[in-house]
Amino acid sequence: MISFENITKIYPPNIVALEDVSFEIKKGEFVLIVGRSGAGKTTLIKLLLREEEPTRGKIFFEGEDVFSIPRKKLPFYRQKIGVIFQDYKLLPTKNVYENVAYAMEVMGAGESEIKRDVPKVLELVGLEDKAYNFPAELSGGEKQRAAIARALIVRPEVLVADEPTGNLDPYHTKDIIDLLQKINNFGTTIILATHDRDIVNSLEKRVITLEKGRIIRDEEKGELLF
Amino acid sequence: MFTPLKRIISYGFKNFRRQPTLHIATVFILVISLSLFSSLLLFRSGIKYIVAEIQKKIDVSVYLKKEAPQELVEEIKKGLVGLEEVEEVEYISEDEALKEFKERHKDDPLILESLEVIGENPFYPSFNIKARSAGQYAAILTFLERDKFKDAVLKVDYTKKQPLIEKIFKITSSLNLGGLLLTIFLGLIAVLVTFNTVRIAIKDASEEIAIMKLVGASNWYVRGPFIVQGVICGVLASIITFLLFFLLSYFSAPKIVALTGGFNIFAWFGAHAFSLFLFQLGLGIGLSVLSGLIAIRKYLNV
């Protein structure tokens, strides 16, 4: 489904973020990308979303060369990939319901469709009681669940999570990881970037380990060793 | 097609309601800008009125000799009417002058009596000439001083008015220039202050704009609500300014009439109310929306 082919990214003047990275992710997989801060996890995600261009190499999404997609079609490509971030990136002036609905609106969904889908997805992430609260009134875990709801509402094929639990306590962390597993069980491919040892070791999923921009390990049921 | 528009408008109103302080501050800055522009407009109208009033009062009288040949008088009149500097020429015969004099002093028996004593009509026929502007009397004077008119022209009553005319001419032209410079200068300040206020408000929302883009919103879907907010601010500001000027002109009208010798600001306001409101509305909406569009550009290029 997704394949990275010899991706190298060098930020000027000569900071090597990724070097000759190649791997493949199958549909419905749950993949962890691990490594210390600065190992290149975020760069990898940015390249997948085409927020950055690689210095060398190619990325294919369902057989299509990501970097030759015309600019006009880019939004349609990005719709296939849901993203959640460490800092949630919720719209502060909109309540939970509107935050989730906004993602549907920009895709041009109709009012009836929104009224049908948003409550469902809020129920899935367990936020049905907080629909009319603003982000400032939510706990960290609730904010991340709202962000997940927003990512899911457009039915992405892949959900990319960049350190989604970085700001959360262990209790809420487990909450979010359980939710991601649930989503994965529905068939959505999950790419989870993290450096949380407990998450990696408890999940027993495929782990791709990055160090200084290179893949040093790629193993099924991997562990975080350092 | 209409759904996105409906959503954009509804978000514009929601955002306005949810951030009242920010928007009220913007509205008041706009009110200041609009008031400034409107006062400049009023000021210029006032000046125009005063200048016109003064110019109406300036004229040149040419007194003709009683024995002046009729053809020559006709020639002078024709020549004067033909001059492009001349707005109006009025011939006053000696009888008319006498009649007017008697009319003006009909309550003063002493003056009328002394007229009787003289026995004959002491007045001369004359031309009353009005120029189109205060600066053009010199040209008219040159025309009247021609040698061939010597037999008809007794006296040109201009020289004694000359310093006054020139002074007024100088004052009015410098008032016009000053008003224009003031308009440009203060207008520039008003625009900059408004732009800066809106820019700060949008900078406040820059993170939000980035998130909207990230979620996949098109540039127009992001801009839309800000435009709606700008329109709301502009409309509110123009209504407030209009009411402010209504009250201000109503209460200051008597004083300004006394000060300017007849310029009735409230009557002016009444006559121009509709166009003034349109001007304020257009300027208010234009200023806030345009500032918003310029300010938001920076954050849309993600």
- Choose the closest CB to B208 out of A75, A83, A93: A93
Domain assignment present for residue B166? The answer is no
pLDDT tens digit sequence for A179-200: 999 999 989 999 999 988 888 8
Name the DSSP letter for residue B19.
Answer: S
Domain count, chain B: 2
Residues 6+ apart with CB under 8 A from B26: B197, B198, B201, B233, B288
Tell me the CA distances in angstroms from A26 to A189, A198, B152, one per residue in order: 8, 24, 113
Under a CB-based contact definition with an 8 Å cutoff, are residues A214 and A22 in contact? no
User: Which pLDDT band holds residue A66 (cuts at 50, 70, 90)?
Assistant: very high
Give the distance from residue A31's alpha carbon to the nearest chain B alpha carbon, in angstroms. 23
Same domain, B137 and B237: no
User: Of the ranges A113-117, A138-142, A149-153, B123-127, which one carries the lowest mean pLDDT score?
Assistant: B123-127
Amino acid identity, position A34: V
Q: Is A46 an interface residue toward B (CB < 8 Å)?
A: no
Instruction: Say whether pLDDT at B212 is over 90.
Output: no
Instruction: Say whether pLDDT at B165 is over 70.
Output: no
Which tokens sit at A23? 């791997």
Same domain, B34 and B121: no
Residue contact A93–B221, C-beta within 8 A: no
Query: Starting from the edge strand earliest in sequence, which strands make up the sheet with B86-92, in order?
Result: B86-92, B126-131, B60-64, B153-157
Same domain, B273 and B178: yes
Same domain, B183 and B127: no
Name the DSSP letter for residue B208.
Answer: H
Same domain, B182 and B49: yes
Which tokens sit at A76? 């349609």
Q: What is the reported pLDDT for A225? A: 62
This complex has an ipTM of 0.77
Q: State the Cα–Cα distance between residues B296 and B222, nearest whole angstrom.
A: 9
The residues facing A211 across adjacent strands are A214
3-state helix, strand, coil in chain A (%, to 5): 40, 25, 35
Q: State the Cα–Cα distance between residues B123 and B64, nearest whole angstrom.
A: 10
Tell me the CA distances in angstroms from A98 to A62, A92, A118, A133, B128, one per residue in order: 31, 10, 9, 10, 78
Give the distance from residue A125's alpha carbon to the nearest chain B alpha carbon, in angstroms. 19
Name the DSSP letter for residue A39.
Answer: S
Looking at B121, B140, B160, the residue that finishes a domain is: B160
Which tokens sit at B292? 């918003």
Residue of chain B whose Cα is closest to the Cα of A73 = B216
User: Which pLDDT band holds residue B79 (cuts at 50, 70, 90)?
Assistant: confident
User: Which pLDDT band holds residue B84 (cuts at 50, 70, 90)?
Assistant: confident
Tell me chain B's radius of gyration from C-alpha atoms: 31
Residue contact A106–B218, C-beta within 8 A: yes
- What residues does each domain of chain A span? 90-155
Looking at B160, B188, B217, the residue that finishes a domain is: B160
Helix, strand or coil, per DSSP, at residue A106? coil
Q: Is A105 an interface residue toward B (CB < 8 Å)?
A: yes
Residue contact A83–B221, C-beta within 8 A: no
Same domain, B251 and B276: yes
Of the two residues B162 and A66, the one the predictor is more confident about is A66
Residue contact A105–B212, C-beta within 8 A: no
**Domain span at B269:** 2-54+171-300
- Residue B192: φ, ψ to 5°: -65, -40
Under a CB-based contact definition with an 8 Å cutoff, are residues A129 and A95 in contact? no
Instruction: Say whether pLDDT at B13 is over 70.
Output: yes
Q: What is the number of alpha carbons within 13 Å of residue B278 lying toward its C-beta? A: 4
Q: How high does pLDDT run on average in chain B?
A: 83
- Choose the closest CB to A106 out of B18, B208, B215: B215
Residue of chain A whose Cα is closest to the Cα of B220 = A106
Q: Is B18 an interface residue toward A (CB < 8 Å)?
A: yes
Count residue pairs from A and B with Cβ separation < 8 A. Answer: 40
Mutate to test the interface with B, among A74, A89, A137 (most CBs of B within 10 A): A89
Name the DSSP letter for residue A107.
Answer: T
Domain assignment present for residue B165? The answer is no
Residue contact B218–A79, C-beta within 8 A: no
Q: State the Cα–Cα distance between residues A203 and A143, nearest whole angstrom.
A: 23
Residues 6+ apart with CB under 8 A from A149: A96, A100, A121, A122, A124, A125, A127
Angle between helical axes of B265-300 and B219-260 (0-180°, round to 10): 160
- Alpha carbon B28 to its chain centroid, in Å, reads 26
Pairing of strands B86-92, B60-64: unpaired
Q: State the Cα–Cα distance between residues A176 and A197, nearest whole angstrom.
A: 15
Same domain, B211 and B263: yes
Looking at B132, B160, B188, the residue that finishes a domain is: B160
Residue of chain A whose Cα is closest to the Cα of B209 = A91
Q: State the Cα–Cα distance between residues A56 and A22, nearest whole angstrom.
A: 12
User: Which pLDDT band holds residue A44 (cuts at 50, 70, 90)?
Assistant: very high
The domain that holds B96 is classified in CATH as: 3.30.70.3040
pTM: 0.71
User: Which pLDDT band holds residue B86 (cuts at 50, 70, 90)?
Assistant: confident
Instruction: Tell me which chain B residues have a C-beta less than 8 angstroms from the C-beta of A83.
Output: 214
Which tokens sit at A169? 């306590």
Same domain, B178 and B263: yes
Q: State the Cα–Cα distance between residues A202 and A180, nearest whole angstrom.
A: 14
Nearest to A127, CA basis, from A99, A97, A91: A97
Domain assignment present for residue B229? The answer is yes
The residues facing A61 across adjacent strands are A2, A64
Q: Is B114 an interface residue toward A (CB < 8 Å)?
A: no
Q: State the Cα–Cα distance between residues B285 and B27, nearest whole angstrom.
A: 11
Same domain, B149 and B181: no
Query: Going along B101-178, which residue ranges are E strands?
Result: 126-131, 153-157
